[in-house]
Structure 1
Amino acid sequence: MSKLPGNAGVSLLGDKSLEFYRDPVSFYRQRIEKHRSRVFQSRLLNRPTAFICSVQGMRELLCEKSNLFVKDPTDLMTNVYGDTVVTTNGEEACLLRLSLTSLFTGRCLESWTDYITSVCERCLKDLSLSGQPECVYTVFKQLGTELVLGLYLNVRPEEQPELFQEITELCTQHWHGLISAPLSVKVPMWSSGFSTAMEARDKLMEIIKDKLENDTQGFVGSLRSLPLPDSSSASQHLLLFISALIPKALASLLTSFTLALSGNEQEETRRRALTDAVYMQGVLLEVQRLWPPFIGGRRIADQDSTLAGFHVPKGHGVMYISHSVHRDPEVFQQPDSFLPERWSGRNAGQEHFLCSFGSGPRNCIGVKLTDAFLKEACMYLLKHYDWCLEPPSQDLEYKWLPVSRPANPPTISFTRLDPTRSDKIDTR
């Protein structure tokens, strides 16, 4: 057992949170090079914190030793969304997951197929109609919003346009609570971002409670019938499931997909992804590996332990960095290269080495739904369009927080494909 490389600094003065949030990728790369280790320590949120940048360390943290590292009960997610399957610990988290899992698997998941298809058709069918480049992140965020509000809340823009717009705006305002200083200040003519976010939450909760009382169909009807711990649990989970966080994550991945497969030089990649289901899965995994929508996740050591051979004292924070874990050269050869074929070769069967949506017993409960949606949206694009950057030269440098995407939203020109072409899809 070795001491963590690096320095945890001293209270307040040694805190590196600002440096990390300004550019988390530069932050971890500089320290990996300095310490020659993919596990190191620094001070984050004024707490000594171990940073995990290797596949081995991530797997120990999230899988083999997940019971030793807990969610931070003072985390802002808890303040904004309440006690949910994402924020709770121990037996409560296990029981919530057992109750909710049925809503994201099996027949429930299959029942959403037609709606997912209809949303993709409605939002993507006119990408080439104007003849002008599209800001794809905006398009995909709208697509994700329609999916989330339609599936989870039975609110669809073609049926209830005013309510849909109201909820969308409130979700955006509420989202700002996660990226604002948690100071609830309200004076005449001005409110802090956090205060505005909490007001939006209260309005959303009124809409959600009305839905839970009056809707008997779909996800809302199924959720209200589950054995949840208290009367507020269903509404708190709906608040989480309709949050702006999910459409932004979906938009992030779809934007990265279109950029990775953009232009004439990627025409063969697009054709192969359309006609070969195994290769298509490799493309989606490679997009997730190189451009994870979330930079990582945070835990607190509940007792003294070790990660990747390093001692982690009780009370230390632990931050796994998905961007770095996915580029661990011990596991991924040519880690910075887009190579979909790696997933049917050297890395076949190693999808669990990715942690875009967590891993192990606390991974994202909706990961199968996310996979189904991404595959449907990407297949729609491949079947109906060719596309390229317009203008060809754009700054595609990513920003990684709070959700990853190019700092300057890219614009892409779409060309409708000939509908009579005879491409066949291999579903083996």
Structure 2
Amino acid sequence: MSAKLPGNAGVSVLGDKSLEFYRDPVSFCRRRIEKHRSRVFLSRLLNRPTAFICSVKGMRELLCEKSNVFVKDPTDLMTNMYGDTIVTTNGEEACLLRLSLSSLFTGPCLESTRDYISGVCERCLTELTRSGQPECVYSAFKGLGTELVLGLFLNVRAEEQPELLQEISQLCTLHWHGLISAPVNLKVPLWSSGFSTALEARDKLMDIIKNKLENETHGFVGSLRSLPLPDSSAAAQHLLLFISALIPKALASLLTSFTVGLSGNEGAEIRHQALEDPDYLDRVLLEVQRLWPPFIGGRRIADQDSPLAGFHVPKDYGVIYISHSVHRDPEVFQQPDSFLPERWSGRNAGQEHFLCSFGSGPRSCIGAKLTNVFLKEVCTYLLQHYAWHLDPPSQDLEYKWLPVSRPTNPPTVSFSCLDQTDSGTS
């Protein structure tokens, strides 16, 4: 017999805890984990009784073993904003889309992107010392991510079409802000003015995308055209998903955490070791992802009554896994709040699948390998060319976790070229 979920869902509307959760999801979960002495508990989110999953075991069961029982919410805002895509569909449709699209993110297609990625990184990252002033790294990395994404997925290159790149980037930002405005601000009705603006931006983006699909045969656009997709709109909807602000913001989040985590004299030894040993850099990036996942988690709906992590979850209950809490599960990660890259060659060796920054199991992010190529290319360039430190040295690095994790006050960092330093430290 499965146990009853600890906690309670309160009453409809009045018992909803969405505002409290969105205000500070990490504290929300921490308080309830302590109160219920359980990393799985019940509350009410978006006015639906919702099981919160904060353990590695619960996350793996939810996303891997029972991914066909706990499904994507068909009324989710993501569906309104992107249509039927690999992210929003369920069942056989989702499997077929993944099968069709996976070739674009693996093997030769992935390898063919490396030269372009290297070129963009070199051009953008040489700018970090040009002004002689501290850099707002989150903004710099977001700009880099936007160039990478629009160049790879839409054949829009910054050096060739700067005005078009700027226009698409601004439309993507409007689209993104509409996507997050409704649930985060909990406006009633959900179709707020921000959401309307986002829909207008989406329509303009779709016009650009359809024009590209009709007139270009090379690169990612050309490859996407030739895939066996369910209908004529599927290619355009997926391109909209792939060029959205989601990816640049995720990259900017992780690269900001990497830069801040390895800054100054305190990070010099880790920087040196990561430069000398690519395997150690992998472990550093795993630890960055573990401590500062870019997304707070993901939400599912129970398609039927089911046990989950030893508890009974009724049909139609929501279930949300919280990446930050899963990644700090003390049963799996000793000293869970400490930055310890060596854990990935010791006790946690081979346990990368216990992270869920980009989901896990059959519905994990299809672009995770490409994202890893982006991250390694940028981090390797930074390590080869720069030392860096927080400037000013004392900054408030308290994180906000929604919609994408990063320090609430964007950190500023000074970079110095390694050939201008004596020891590779700042």
- Where on the TM-score scale, by shorter chain, does this alignment land: which range? over 0.9
Distance change (3 Å), C-alpha of 1:94 and 1:406: same
Shift in Å, 1:184: 8.2
Show the 5 A alignment for 1:99-110. 99-110=100-111
Displacement, 1:212? 0.1
**Aligned-pair CA distance for 1:420:** 11
* Deviation string, structure 1 residues 316-364 (Cα, Å, up to 9, x no partner): 1000000000000000000000000000000000000000000000000
Alignment-derived partner of residue 131 in structure 1: 132
Q: Deviations over 1:351-389 (max 9, x none)?
A: 000000000000000000001110000000000000000
* Offset, 1:413: 0.4
| Other-structure match for 2:250 | 249
Q: Report the equivalent of 2:238.
A: 237
Residue 400 of structure 1 is matched in structure 2 by 401
Deviation readout 1:230-266 (Å, 9 max, x if unpaired):
1100000000000011100000000000011000121
CA–CA distance in structure 1, aligned partners of residues 291 and 223 of structure 2 = 36
Give the whole-Å Cα distance in 1 for the aligned partners of 2:235 and 2:225: 6
1:22-421 correspondence to structure 2 within 5 Å: 22-181=23-182, 192-418=193-419
Which segment is superposed worse, 333-342 or 172-181? 172-181
Q: Which amino acid aligns with 1:340?
A: P
Q: Distance in 1 between matches of 2:296 and 2:32?
A: 16
Unaligned runs of 5+ in 2: none
TM-score by length of 2: 0.96
Q: CA RMSD in A?
A: 1.5
Letter in 1 for 2:350: G
TM-score w.r.t. the length of structure 1 is: 0.96
Q: Secondary structure at the match of 2:68?
A: helix
1-structure distance, mates of 2:274, 2:80: 42
CA shift for structure 1 position 129: 2.1
Partner of 1:426: none
| CA distance in structure 1 between the aligned counterparts of 2:327 and 2:129, rounded to whole angstroms | 34
Distance 2:52 2:127 in 1: 44
SS of residue paired to 2:159: coil
What per-residue deviation string (whole Å, max 9, x for no partner) do you get for residues 41-87 of structure 1?
A: 00000000000000000000000111110000000000011100000
Which amino acid in the other structure matches residue 353 of structure 2?
H
The superposition leaves residues 136-158 of structure 1 with CA deviations (integer Å, 9 ceiling, x where unpaired) of 00000000000000000000111
Q: CA deviation at 1:421?
A: 9.8
* Residue range with higher mean Cα deviation, 170-179 or 45-54: 170-179
Write the deviation string for residues 186-221 of structure 1: whole angstroms up to 9, x where unpaired. Answer: xxxxx8111111111000000000000001000000
Percent pairwise identity:
82
Q: Distance in 2 between matches of 1:357 and 1:174?
A: 21
* Stretch of structure 1 that moved more, 224-233 or 128-137: 128-137
Deviations 1:264-322 (A, max 9, x none): 12111100000011111110000000000000000000111111101111111000000
Deviation at 1:114, TM superposition (A): 0.2
SS for the counterpart of 1:179 is helix
Using the TM superposition, give the Cα deviation of residue 408 of structure 1 relative to its aligned residue in structure 2, in angstroms: 0.4
What letter matches 1:271 in structure 2? H
Aligned in 2, Cα 1:422/1:390: closer, same or farther, shift over 3 Å?
A: closer
Shift of 1:126: 2.2
C-alpha distance in 2 between matches for 1:69 and 1:179:
23
- Contact (CA 8 Å) 1:384, 1:419: kept in 2 or not? no
Distance 2:282 2:308 in 1: 31
Count of equivalent residues: 418
CA distance, structure 1, for counterparts of residue 243 and residue 208 of structure 2: 12
Q: 1:422 to 1:7 in 2, by over 3 A?
A: closer
Secondary structure of the 2:232 match is: coil
List per-residue Cα deviations over 1:11-49 (Å, max 9, x = no partner). Answer: 101000000000000100000000000000000000000
Give me the whole-angstrom Cα distance separating, in 2, the residues matched to 1:62 and 1:242. 25
In proportion to residue count, which structure has more helix? 2
**Displacement of 1:422 after TM fit?**
12
Opposite residue 251 of structure 1, the aligned amino acid is A
